[in-house]
Amino acid sequence: MQISSRFTLAVHIIACIDTFKDEYKVTSDFLAGSTNVNPVIIRRILGQLKAAGLVEITRGSGGAAIARPLDQISFLDIYRAVECIENGELFHFHENPNKECPVGRNIHLVMDDRLHRVQCAMEKELSSITLEDVQKDIKKVL
């Protein structure tokens, strides 16, 4: 399993918005230049971040701004904003295991709790990291 690049792109986008907010109008074209990703993809991710209340976007060439303090934006917030997870579930179980098979008949019983624990552990770790943490480290290397 691999989390899509939307997550890391979203972190990159927010870091750029914060880093360059006082120097440039941070537009999708500007962000595309930093990420080397098509501006259409950047706009799609910005739309998801906006819908989650993480960024504000001014139409036209107004640019983007961060909607909340960085210490109030966690990796989990970003992950939930841009990753497509159905019903909040990280793992999607195959629909119809064979009930005639002893494994198929019992696979949910054996795996559901384990998968739930894995998801909770991942979400706990994601919630412990904020964009403020990322920006502090970026400023160290600038």
With contact defined as beta carbons under 8 Å apart, do 4 and 22 qualify? Answer: no
Contacts of 3 (CB under 8 A, 6+ apart): 79, 83
In angstroms, the CA 27 to CA 42 distance is: 9
- Tell me the per-residue pLDDT of 53-96, one tens digit each, with 9 for 90 and over: 999 998 876 789 999 999 999 999 999 999 877 667 777 777 78
Using a pLDDT cut of 70, give the percent of the chain over it. 96
Per-residue pLDDT at 2: 57
- Tell me the per-residue pLDDT of 26-56, one tens digit each, with 9 for 90 and over: 999 999 999 999 999 999 999 999 999 999 9
The closest of 104, 83, 101, 102 to 93, measured between CA atoms, is 104
Pick the CATH number of 5-141 from 3.90.1640.10, 1.20.120.1630, 3.40.50.300, 1.10.10.10: 1.10.10.10
Band (16; pLDDT cuts 50, 70, 90): very high
Which whole number is the average pLDDT over 107-132? Answer: 94
Per-residue pLDDT at 58: 87
In angstroms, the CA 43 to CA 50 distance is: 10
Tell me what the pLDDT averaged over the chain comes to: 91
Q: Where are the domains of the chain?
A: 5-141
Per-residue pLDDT at 73: 98
Which whole number is the average pLDDT over 117-137? Answer: 96
Res. 1: pLDDT tops 60:
no
Per-residue pLDDT at 61: 67
Res. 21: pLDDT tops 60:
yes
